[in-house]
Chain A
């Protein structure tokens, strides 16, 4: 099948922004839309009549419905063909697996393979997390996803003064290869894919994973998985830092280059909007800042001299699925179309896979409420449905108790079952992009795209995302949106069921997971034992080689894998980075 959009008919006005502009540039082709001009004129006229009737009814309605999305965007009460007069199926949507991939990146989508159900887990000790992994795999989960504790996320060992009190509290502690070995004990690393949510020390954890696999005889070239490794969104939103932005970018490009060459099934960066949204952004901001981050990584890799079609296929994305159903589906569809456009026109990528925006989705933690927590199961189900209708490649559904503490096993199971019900009972995955063509959704998708490209343009004008971050631009845009939202909730203009409406006096009836406070001592003892048993010379030489790679500008990955295999601790490796590159501290604006 050869389906390609009549792309050459379009005069692309400026290299990388704005399908919106392109829409207008095709005005000379009135037949390209779904409707003839005459038909459209009739529809538009009738719509005006309907609008008058509607306004009359609403004026006297006792209980008016809402008119804006959770991002504060006003939407119309009705959409018709008149809202997308230039709608061109082949150009704007085309078929799944065909540019601009609006309807999905793969030709067969869920008919070929269901999305990966990838539940994020990590708690307490490596043993405990390993047990949870086995439990999830036995219950039908198809990919692993690791949550690390705060010291690990920040590149500190459990015994660091700054790390006291945090061991195992919101994920698993990894100090050395020993912990990594226990974490993946008995799990087939050649068959499962593993996602690791890790940023500043991503290269280090990846090196440990490669070292564990190779110790077990699994070669790096068959390893599949993802490290998040997206520092730009850390500076913008999630705020785990180690080194300043510039050297952070250098480490990321090292991983991209190394992965491209030696670990071809690995996604070295998961360009993440999730945390941007959780920090309080709107849907448009999430989309725009994420793609702008992606642009910055591509530019940095190109500057290193990498071939765009060699690395771009392994870039993956990670989005939030918030509670506003149609806005979210529009966001996912717009994301695919925008990224394909950016890669094709801005970066001249040629390979189809370079144009694909593949993404993982997590339902919105920030939409969950501590009050009446069982309601969160419903919220999560609706958000998961949006992700599926938006064509996600993998999905984490939040547990209803996540807003209270680390999920219990029972709550995590309900969350996984939610996905299984969607996949296997509801039939929503039977047809690809089933909402495509809906007047409302197509219009929302177009608007989402145009507004996000406007942000991308602003960031380009500032000189790119690194410069924008330095100016605190995305951080303050998000802070504004978050504050607005909270005020709307407080004033009751934005309903949160069970919180500012339908609230009741209640004792929260759920069991809560408590991390074991004795864990810290046990973890410190284990790492001390490892330090005792390891070969000091190998450790010293490894760290020296790492230092040389950092200062000399050669790729840090080979030295890191050597260090990991020699049981250097996470912090020993990260301290080399800190020493060479310096550290970054939060500017603390609010």
Chain B
């Protein structure tokens, strides 16, 4: 992928000339990797993020890891949320993380959710998935995690 991540509007980085006004909102890509069609959770979480004041892009279904990483970079997001309910999470999440690294975009954090066996959670965290949310997690808890862990690019401590 040669379309550089800075080909869009240049994101403001570093402490120079950043005022409160310039601080942008947290931008999140909610993505459905693979062929799995279960999108109830992803769409609900996307709405909750929007209601929480984040900027949200939803990929729609059936995205390849390449498409997701491309969208994350093009849209200059701070966070990618991956949803999987069809058991292909290990392969697909790994691939998204690898591609982000290849593109030098590892500062984009990745979280995941869906039907994910507990014993896979440590494996996912070991490859760089920051958090995994299982069924029964409240929207509030997910939003809080984002607020606690994601700082939008362009703010003072980014």
Seen from chain A, the residues whose Cβ lies within 8 Å of a Cβ on chain B are 150-151, 153-154, 156, 161-166, 169-170, 234, 238-241, 278-280, 366, 369-371, 403-406, 479, 482-483, 486-487, 489-490, 496, 499-500, 508, 512, 514-515, 585-590
Contacts beyond the supplied A490-B140, A586-B61: 16 A-B pairs with Cβ under 8 Å = A162-B35, A165-B88, A165-B91, A240-B37, A279-B39, A280-B44, A369-B136, A405-B87, A479-B43, A482-B40, A490-B138, A490-B139, A500-B138, A512-B119, A585-B62, A588-B58
Cβ–Cβ < 8 Å partners of B138 in chain A: 489-490, 500
Select the residue from B43, B47, B58, B60 with max chain A CB neighbours within 10 A.
B43
Interface string of B59-81 (1 = CB under 8 A from A): 11110100000000000000000
Cβ–Cβ < 8 Å partners of B56 in chain A: 590
Cβ–Cβ < 8 Å partners of B91 in chain A: 164-166
* CB-CB nearest 10 A-B residue pairs: A588-B60, A165-B91, A239-B37, A150-B35, A169-B87, A586-B60, A590-B43, A586-B61, A590-B46, A370-B135
Cβ–Cβ < 8 Å partners of B48 in chain A: 483, 486
Q: Report the bound CA distance from A366 to B95 in whole Å.
A: 29
Cβ–Cβ < 8 Å partners of A371 in chain B: 136
A239 touching B88, Cβ below 8 Å:
no
Cβ–Cβ < 8 Å partners of B35 in chain A: 150-151, 153-154, 156, 162-163, 166, 240
7 CB contacts below 8 A, A to B, read: A165-B90, A169-B88, A366-B40, A369-B135, A404-B117, A490-B139, A499-B136
Q: For the complex formed, measure the closest distance between the CB of B72 and the CB atoms of chain A, giving whole angstroms.
A: 15
B58 touching A150, Cβ below 8 Å:
no
Q: For the complex formed, measure the closest distance between the CB of A502 and the CB atoms of chain B, giving whole angstroms.
A: 13
Given A482-B40, A500-B138, A590-B43, A166-B34 contact (CB < 8 Å): yes
Q: For the complex formed, measure the closest distance between the CB of A542 and the CB atoms of chain B, giving whole angstroms.
A: 26
Instruction: Name the interface size band of chain B.
Output: 35 or more
Q: Does B92 touch A at the CB level, under 8 Å?
A: yes
Q: Report the bound CA distance from A151 to B35 in whole Å.
A: 7
Report how many A-B pairs have Cβ atoms within 8 Å: 108
Provide the main secondary structure of the chain A interface.
loop
B88 touching A150, Cβ below 8 Å:
yes
B115 touching A515, Cβ below 8 Å:
no
Q: Report the bound CA distance from A405 to B87 in whole Å.
A: 8
Q: Does B134 touch A at the CB level, under 8 Å?
A: yes
Q: Does B22 touch A at the CB level, under 8 Å?
A: no
Q: For the complex formed, measure the closest distance between the CB of A397 and the CB atoms of chain B, giving whole angstroms.
A: 19
Q: For the complex formed, measure the closest distance between the CB of B93 and the CB atoms of chain A, giving whole angstroms.
A: 10
User: Which residue of chain B has the shortest Cβ distance to A403 in the bound complex?
Assistant: B135
B59 touching A588, Cβ below 8 Å:
yes
A370 touching B136, Cβ below 8 Å:
yes
Q: For the complex formed, measure the closest distance between the CB of B147 and the CB atoms of chain A, giving whole angstroms.
A: 16
Q: Does B118 touch A at the CB level, under 8 Å?
A: yes
User: Which residue of chain B has the shortest Cβ distance to A199 in the bound complex?
Assistant: B37
Q: Report the bound CA distance from A169 to B91 in whole Å.
A: 11
Q: Report the bound CA distance from A234 to B62 in whole Å.
A: 14
A239 touching B61, Cβ below 8 Å:
yes
Given A369-B135, A499-B136, A165-B43 contact (CB < 8 Å): no
Q: Does B86 touch A at the CB level, under 8 Å?
A: yes
Given A162-B35, A169-B87, A514-B139 contact (CB < 8 Å): no
User: Which residue of chain B has the shortest Cβ distance to A275 in the bound complex?
Assistant: B37
Cβ–Cβ < 8 Å partners of A405 in chain B: 87, 115, 117
Cβ–Cβ < 8 Å partners of B131 in chain A: none
A150 touching B34, Cβ below 8 Å:
yes
Q: Does B36 touch A at the CB level, under 8 Å?
A: yes
Given A370-B134, A482-B44, A590-B47, A238-B37 contact (CB < 8 Å): yes
B87 touching A590, Cβ below 8 Å:
no
Given A150-B35, A150-B88, A240-B37, A403-B60 contact (CB < 8 Å): no
Q: For the complex formed, measure the closest distance between the CB of A588 and the CB atoms of chain B, giving whole angstroms.
A: 3
Select the residue from A239, A280, A482 with max chain B CB neighbours within 10 A.
A239
Q: For the complex formed, measure the closest distance between the CB of A223 and the CB atoms of chain B, giving whole angstroms.
A: 28
